[in-house]
Homo-oligomer: A and B are copies of this chain.
Amino acid sequence: MHVTNIVNGVDVDRLAGTIEHISADPTLADFQFRAHNRWIDGGHNRTTIKGFYGAGQEDASRTEPFVLDADEPPLLLGQNKGPNAGEYLLQALAACLTGTIVYHAAARGIVLDGLECTIEGEADLQGFLGLDETVRPGFQQIRVAFEATGDFDDDQLAELAQLASYSPVRDTVSNPVPVAIEVVRA
């Protein structure tokens, strides 16, 4: 009889299998994620996300693209047709920390009932506007406050915060990533 071993909604047997496959062939760990963005008007633009490369092949699991609109609020000369890019960055970081904690907790047998967080990012618009070259355009600091419930002791509670170090977006935001940008005529 095969008993499926699900912890926190994560199939830990499949997770262990993934780790085993990658340990045997590390090239399976190479992933490329992608998005396509099209400007619509003013602060409004639209992104589509569908395919990616991973585990040695193009993924074909998504039959339709995800479509995401970004815009600015009226205060920043937009029309609120979507969150703005800074808010999407915070969403990416919050979602990544949540997923990372859930998966790694599952692998360690830490059972969660609930996990919520509020994320806040501080920015000084003088950087974006180019009014003061000593002010960075990006976030100056970001704070994430999680509340967790579940069947864990105080040592495991402390462990949950440590698991954040495995988060890909946390690493991407905390440490430098090279970004190459080119603009050509269509």
Residues of A within 8 A of B (CB): 8-11, 14-15, 18-19, 22-23, 26, 28-39, 41-45, 47, 49, 52, 54-55, 59, 61-62, 66, 68, 70, 72-77, 80, 82-104, 112, 114-132, 135-149, 157, 160-161, 164-186
Contact = CB atoms under 8 A, between A and B. Distances in A.
B123 A43 contact: no
Main SS of the interface on chain A? mixed
A87 B52 contact: yes
A102 B84 CA distance: 14
Given A43-B103, A74-B61, A142-B179, A34 B129 contact: no
**Top 9 A-B residue pairs of the complex, sorted by shortest distance between their CB atoms:** A9-B42, A138-B171, A85-B96, A138-B172, A88-B92, A9-B41, A70-B95, A37-B94, A147-B186
A49 B9 CA distance: 25
A92 B92 contact: yes
A180 B35 contact: no
Contact of A142 (B91, B140, B178): B178
A87 B49 contact: yes
B32 A120 contact: yes
A91 to B, nearest CB: 4
A141 B160 CA distance: 28
A88 to B, nearest CB: 4
Contacts of A96: 85-86, 89
Contacts of A97: 181
Contacts of A131: 19, 22-23, 26, 29
